[in-house]
Amino acid sequence: MATPAHRPPACRLRPGGVDDLDDVMRVMMAAFQPCFGEAWTRSQCAGILPMAGVTLTLAEDDDESALGFALARTIADEAELLLIAVNPSSQRRGVGQALLMHFIEQARQAGAETLHLEVRDNNPAIALYSAAGFRPAGRRRNYYSGADGTKHDAVTLKLVN
């Protein structure tokens, strides 16, 4: 599980809400390549936030600027990481790891026994998920299309203890 040692010194995590959607959208638009259609719209984010079991976590620097966010949902004994994004200028600095470990902590505290997420099969974040203990559990063939028409599978990952 995550401890403060896993979090970079310039990254502070806090709960988020509808008032944080401007920051969420800024990070999302910078982090997700538009050609794959992975980014959510503002209305999709606003629509899911009030739902039971949904949490938004923001990672901020000392100036309270958003570095990244994680959107998750826990229902009964299952938790799903719906979205995780880190501003490209803050990637590979432990922000994504801090958000992922926080998701795992929150889900376990809420009683989740199964934790999962879905990711494009060529997304570099797979290394982060694998390091945290997530393993392939399923695949959706040709789920994503690149700008050049190249198809990519979606891989479902499940946390293995």
- Supply the residues annotated as catalytic: 118, 129
153 vs 62, residue with greater confidence: 153
Long-range contacts of 148-156, Cβ-Cβ distance < 8 Å, separation of 24 or more = 152/36, 152/120, 152/121, 152/122, 153/120, 153/121, 154/118, 154/119, 154/120, 154/121, 155/118, 155/119, 155/120, 155/121, 155/126, 156/116, 156/117, 156/118
Position 108 pLDDT exceeds 80 = yes
Domain regions of the chain by residue span: 4-115
CATH class of 4-115: alpha beta
Q: Please give the structure tokens belonging to residue 90.
A: 């803050």
Q: What is the pLDDT of residue 77?
A: 95
Position 2 pLDDT exceeds 80 = no
Match 């700008």 to its residue by tokens.
147
* Average pLDDT score over residue span 74-88: 95
pTM value is 0.88
From 118, 117, 58, 105, select the one nearest 86 (Cα to Cα): 58
pLDDT tens readout for residues 69-79: 999 999 999 99
Q: What is the pLDDT of residue 146?
A: 79
Q: What is the pLDDT of residue 10?
A: 59
* Average pLDDT score over residue span 10-27: 93
Q: What is the pLDDT of residue 144?
A: 86
Q: What is the pLDDT of residue 38?
A: 77
Helix (H), strand (E) at residue 87: none
pLDDT tens readout for residues 132-146: 999 999 999 999 887
β-partners of residue 136 are 157
